[in-house]
Amino acid sequence: MDPQPTAATRPIQLKIADDIRMWIESGELQPGDELPTLGEIMERWACSMNSARGAVSLLKSQGLITAGRGKAPRVRVPPARVVRSSERHQAEKDLARRPERERSSVGEAETNLGMSIQEQEFTTKYATIEADESLAAALSIAAGDALLRRTYKSIDPQSGRLLSSSTSYIPLEIVSGNPDLLDEQKEPWPGGTMHQLSTVGVEVMQIVDEVTGRMPTTVEAQAWGLTEGIPLLFCRRISLDADDRIVEISDAEYPADRTELRFITPLRPWRKKKQVTRKEAQK
């Protein structure tokens, strides 16, 4: 879409922010370029210092610029984007049947983040909890039933920022037959959840991804290294077996400025209509 100003009557700080935003959208200002100084803004738009600061604050809240104490505002440089495609579900299922040597060499770090798990600070925490009303409804079980909760986090050791974060819930009765599945020291597990479930006779036959979004809390923004105005995406992955039993739900969060969620949906062909002969049409 071509750069467009905000409709209706605009206060001066919105007009300034609109003009600068359109410079960014048109490419006149490139990522990393400095914005006009507050003095230059005041002179160019004949406005007060408060209006100039308000315009910069508005651009910051829209996630278009970065600015800090003692630093000149600059056009935000987009971070590297990670593509998370629904095609990976089939790839993970196929991988679960491969030898351990192959399973241990490929995981979310390699497929989604493009880096080996050795390059990350990877942590896992397991706990047995009781399902509250919300989790019980999501898993179609009774409130109070035992769950295995697994929390996964990966941190970039150079920046100290989160690379990935997710929490998995599995009804304990499903995995209790294999004690290794209750031991967090076994992580990272070669082949991931698909292979773990296969060791107790469970084959995942369907996965549903539910995606929502919201603005982050200050703690979340700090952990992910988010600039002002960048929302978080939340994806709940629901795994079902051949009997449509929910065997796991996994809640993950992703920064919207560096994540592309790609959903691949195969469509069945229409059934071919039977060719009607002229004699049949005349009957």
At residue 267, the pLDDT reads 85
Convert the chain into a string of H (helix), E (strand) and C (coil): CCCCCCCCCCCHHHHHHHHHHHHHHHCCCCCCCECCCHHHHHHHHCCCHHHHHHHHHHHHHCCCEECCCCCCCEECCCCCCEEEECHHHHHHHHHCCCCHHHHCCCCHHHHHHCCCHHHCEEEEEEEEEECCHHHHHHHCCCCCCEEEEEEEEEECCCCCCEEEEEEEEEEHHHHCCCHHHHCHHHCCCCCHHHHHHHCCCCCEEEEEEEEEEECCCHHHHHHHCCCCCCCEEEEEEEEEECCCCEEEEEEEEEEHHHEEEECCCCCCCCCCCCCCCHHHHHC
At residue 79, the pLDDT reads 83
At residue 280, the pLDDT reads 63
At residue 276, the pLDDT reads 60
At residue 278, the pLDDT reads 61
* Residue-by-residue pLDDT tens, the chain, 283 positions: 567 766 656 789 999 999 999 999 999 999 999 999 999 999 999 999 999 999 999 998 888 888 777 678 999 888 888 888 888 888 888 888 888 877 776 666 555 666 676 788 999 999 999 999 999 999 999 999 999 999 999 999 988 999 999 999 999 999 999 999 999 999 989 889 999 999 999 999 999 999 999 999 989 999 999 988 899 999 999 999 999 999 999 999 999 999 999 988 888 888 876 666 666 656 5
At residue 106, the pLDDT reads 62
At residue 279, the pLDDT reads 60
At residue 51, the pLDDT reads 94
